[in-house]
Structure 1
Amino acid sequence: MAIKSYKQAIDRSISPPRVITQPINQAANTGGKASFSAMATGVPAPFVQWQLARAGSSVWIDIPDANLINYTTPTLSASDNGNQYRAVFSNSAGKAVSESAAVTILSAPMIKDGSSILYEETTTMERQRRIAEQQQHSKLAKVHAREHNEEQAHASPEEAMENGLLQHPFLNSQRNDGIDPNLNPEPPLNTEARREFDNERREQEMEKQLRLGNMPKMRTDPQFKP
């Protein structure tokens, strides 16, 4: 009786594998990989072996070194589309097979020659697009092509066109050619001091114009004005 009870206890402690997590279908891009996962219970702990069936075939082949509950495929290509994967669990009490899961290979987007899926990256591409639209090679509205300088801006001489003092209209004035600005406040309007001040400034302005070669015009004969 003792031996029989011992055998019954051993039988109750051993159970065949039972799949509790099934693998699910996966999708991957060309050049990518797909991962599958499956789990099973059993005593003793079941051994797992992943298998592969090529698309259109019902023959299952053991995948070398695929003995974990998680399996990641090698790099996939378009020919791997539709391949089936499953996990086989086994122990001393039996065997259990999971459901199969397929991998779908996503096709890469078709790009025409000379086009880009990115935004206009360079000024050359932008100019070519504008010229094409201006020449009515596009259904978009006609626009004016604008030239873009692709060269880097270099340091110019101090008195170059874009770097000279006379470029600024405020500085391009004869006021900066010899007469110092007023250091003292101007006298009040409608006073004798203001009249003398204005006369002195007028004389200075006339003297400056003479130094600059701007002689006053003193013609008294009538001039034709259309």
Structure 2
Amino acid sequence: MKNYSVILFVALFAGACAMTRKYQDPQHAIYARMLTPDEKNEINRTGEITKNIELYDPMDKNLWHGMLKGTLRILKTENPEVFNFVEIGIWVTLTRPKGQITTNYRVKDSTENDRQGNTLSKVRYYEGQAETYYLEKKCTSKMIDQQFIQHVEVFMDTALVMEYNMRVLDYGTPKSDSQKQKIVVGMYNEYFKGKLVRTKVYDNDGNLILESKASE
């Protein structure tokens, strides 16, 4: 079963605050506020539903400055009033330059997740001067020796400053990627002005086994 909702973030936030203690992620409390009684009954009867959503804030002084769009996989739990929200498929955060209400939306964050909520790919941008957006973070994922590995690259002023690998321990469990158990494995590199300045090496259990600095 698939449903679709366009949600006013402000209208949900106040009510979600009272539900936060039921959920580790405050955003999941907001998701919970979106569910209708019929949807809750359907989840508890069939085990899960999917729901397309949009979250935005019409009270923002920049007028709809940000918008979050994506698909939720919503699963039942042992508590009929608490649900497992998993972001699946394509999730996009759209934004307009500050104060530019007539400018078209631009992609600020784009994420692709699998059915278990694992991030397969992700790009994130930040707004610089003159309405320009720069790459801030990039993530790609793949299976290596039956392990789910996420490769992360972090940028500052268009330059690569850090890259590392994360092993997702519970990639087979459906839940939000932000709630997954991850450890750093393999090479962890730091850069300055385009040059490698430090390398750390971690074993498959996330233990630091080697650290070195680049020679001047």
- Normalised to the residue count of structure 2, the TM-score between the two structures is 0.19
Specify which structure has the higher proportion of strand: 2
Specify which structure has the higher proportion of helix: 1
Higher relative contact order (CA 8 A, sep 6+): 1
**Larger Rg computed on CA atoms:** 1
- Normalised to the residue count of structure 1, the TM-score between the two structures is 0.19
